[in-house]
Amino acid sequence: MAKSTSTRRRRASRELVDAKQAVDLATAQSYSENVFLFVPNLIGYTRVIMAGLSLHYMSYHPIYCTLLYGFSCLLDAVDGQAARALKQTSKFGAVLDMVTDRCTTSCLLCYLSAAYPDYSILFQFLIALDFSSHYMHMYSSLVTGSTSHKLVTSDVSRILWLYYNDSRTLFFVCAGNELFFVSLYLMKWTVTPSGLPFLEDWTYPQIMACPTFLVFLLKNVINLVQLWKASKILVGVDLAERAAARAAAASKKLDSDSS
């Protein structure tokens, strides 16, 4: 009962501001309390710029591309810490962060689809899975009144709880997944063997791709779990709303018959 009450309160607080009010508030916000200028959001804009520059260099300068892409990804771990330290967490920042992650990775996967045409259908599937998984997860969080898509309880999904509850795990999985894609990208540019013992004929990107491949598999298993759990949550909300509508209709009919 307490849980459902708190959920209703969260929904009620969210519904106090409609779209027009929100636009007016954003337009009239002062410099001292301008969400667009929050430090973590400024970091987010920097990530977007660096990601855009990395895409510019992607087809002809792998060093610049890799450095810019890597720094953009590393800043993903900084903006959240800055938001908590400065008490500047925001819904805009959370969505900006997620959209930047999805778009940056998808652009790299588009390049890999062209670089490895035999595997283009796989890269297209990964883009679709990444977007659909995170969109449905975000939407299911909103309709159930959660204040953040990262607030997943263990009774909903232990895998997602372990993934989102520990920032170190989240960083390790996301970084390992990106490193695998970057390794595939650099494999197209690097032909010089590493010369390392037992791996003399392997390039450094090929060596890096081996351990990060396991993290890549884990990340996409998590995406599948996230998509399935979000689908079940949305279906559960549909069933609850349909049951409530039937109960309301039955109550209305009963009142009508009694009168």
What whole-number distance in Å separates Cα of residue 185 and Cα of residue 249?
A: 59
79 counts as catalytic: no
If you average pLDDT over residues 16-25, what whole number do you get?
Answer: 84
State the catalytic residue, choosing from 79, 101, 201, 257. 101
Domain spans, the chain: 32-115, 155-258
Global pTM?
0.88
List phi, psi (to 5°) of 48.
-65, -45
Contact residues for 154 (Cβ-Cβ < 8 A; gap 6+):
161
Count of positions (residues) in the chain: 259
Coil vs helix vs strand at 60:
coil
Residues 68-114 pLDDT 10s: 999 999 999 899 899 989 999 999 999 999 999 999 999 999 999 99
Give pLDDT, residue 15.
54
State both tokens at 34. 């301008």
Contact residues for 46 (Cβ-Cβ < 8 A; gap 6+):
75
Task: Determine contact, residues 164/152, Cβ cutoff 8 Å.
Answer: yes
Cα–Cα distances in Å, from 132 out to 60, 125, 174, 183? 31, 10, 17, 25
Residues 167-223 pLDDT 10s: 899 999 999 999 999 999 999 999 999 999 999 999 999 999 999 999 999 999 999
